């Protein structure tokens, strides 16, 4: 309980400058009433709250030197090899018929996501920004079918040229996450097939596209929460 309260307090402190700025940038022609100032601060808090909480999740999951368990460096995948056990409580309602593949990306540089032929197997790589807004064009059986694809993800303000053969998804925030789900029937035989697909999922910086790129994890940094 104390950890939750402390986290909420840190979030409130982090959002305070945005709230103050929003009030100061309001119409300078007249003084604000207390109700107007409160409404502006509330809007700023609501606007920024998801950005802060999702960023905390990103750091918790990706600020690591290597892939291990449910953690992976930016640009690499967390691949869950089997269904979660019945007593798993890490997520309130995990899927009971898909295997998860999750990757956080830093779009300071455009990133290319590649996946192999899926055939008739159901899949979706849900594309989400820091506001946790789902993208209707997320790679999936519904949107593009079962053939192999390359997707280019770019951050705010990017104005480059999309290479031929890539599908482009511009994002509204610098950081994003892919929440992949691939159907598995629960047998060991099918797990092996899906695990082989998961092993072929890859993220490549656009500057390294066309090379034999090997991910190199950025140095993990110590955060206040880890000290």
CA-to-CA distance for 195 and 79, rounded, in angstroms?
Answer: 8
The SS3 call for residue 199 is helix
Residue 84 burial class via C-beta count within 10 angstroms: exposed 0-12, middle 13-18, buried 19 and up: middle
What domains sit in the chain, N to C, each tagged with a CATH number?
A: 2-62 (no CATH), 78-208 (2.60.40.1610)
Non-local CB neighbours of 155 within 8 Å, separated by 6+ positions: 107, 108, 110, 170, 171, 173, 174
pLDDT value of position 220: 65
CA-to-CA distance for 224 and 11, rounded, in angstroms?
Answer: 13
Non-local CB neighbours of 13 within 8 Å, separated by 6+ positions: none
CA-to-CA distance for 53 and 64, rounded, in angstroms?
Answer: 19
For the segment 101-120, what is each residue's pLDDT rounded down to a tens digit? 999 999 999 999 999 999 99
CA-to-CA distance for 76 and 203, rounded, in angstroms?
Answer: 7
**pLDDT band at 74; cut points 50, 70, 90:** very high
The SS3 call for residue 88 is coil
Q: What percent of the chain has pLDDT over 70?
A: 83
Sheet strands side by side (includes 149-154) = 167-170, 149-154, 111-115, 202-205
CA-to-CA distance for 182 and 75, rounded, in angstroms?
Answer: 19
**pLDDT band at 7; cut points 50, 70, 90:** very low
pLDDT value of position 152: 98
**pLDDT band at 1; cut points 50, 70, 90:** very low
Q: Tell me which residue has tokens 């640009």.
A: 75
For the beta carbon of residue 187, count every other beta carbon within 10 angstroms: 9
Q: Quick check: 79 pLDDT over 70?
A: yes
Q: Which tokens is 193 given?
A: 């097939």
CA 141 from chain centre, in angstroms, equals 20
Q: Quick check: 8 pLDDT over 50?
A: no
pLDDT value of position 6: 43
The overall average pLDDT reported for the chain is: 87
Q: Quick check: 17 pLDDT over 80?
A: no
pLDDT value of position 145: 97
If phi > 0 it is left, if psi is from -120 to 50 it is alpha, else beta; for residue 210 that is left
For the segment 133-167, what is each residue's pLDDT rounded down to a tens digit? 889 999 999 999 999 999 999 999 999 999 999 99
pTM: 0.80
CA-to-CA distance for 2 and 163, rounded, in angstroms?
Answer: 50
């Amino acid at each position: 309980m104390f950890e939750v309260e402390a986290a909420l307090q840190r979030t409130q402190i982090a959002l305070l400058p945005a709230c103050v700025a929003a009030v100061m940038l309001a119409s300078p022609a007249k003084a604000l009433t207390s109700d107007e100032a409160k409404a502006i601060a509330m809007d700023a808090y609501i606007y920024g709250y998801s950005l802060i909480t999702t960023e905390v999740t990103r750091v918790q999951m990706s600020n690591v030197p290597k892939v291990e368990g449910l953690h992976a460096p930016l640009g690499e995948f967390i691949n869950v090899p089997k269904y979660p056990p019945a007593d798993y409580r890490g997520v309130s309602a995990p899927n009971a018929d898909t295997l998860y593949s999750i990757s956080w990306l830093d779009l300071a540089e455009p990133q290319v996501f590649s996946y192999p032929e899926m055939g008739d197997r159901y899949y979706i790589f849900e594309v989400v920004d820091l506001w946790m807004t789902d993208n209707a064009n997320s790679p999936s059986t519904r949107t593009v079918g079962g053939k192999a694809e390359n997707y280019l993800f770019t951050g705010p303000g990017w104005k480059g040229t999309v290479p031929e053969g890539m599908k482009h998804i511009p994002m509204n925030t610098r950081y994003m996450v892919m929440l992949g789900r691939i159907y598995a029937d629960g047998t060991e035989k099918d797990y092996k097939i899906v695990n082989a697909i998961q092993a072929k999922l890859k993220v490549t910086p656009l500057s390294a596209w066309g090379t034999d790129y090997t991910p190199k994890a950025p140095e993990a940094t110590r955060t206040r929460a880890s000290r």
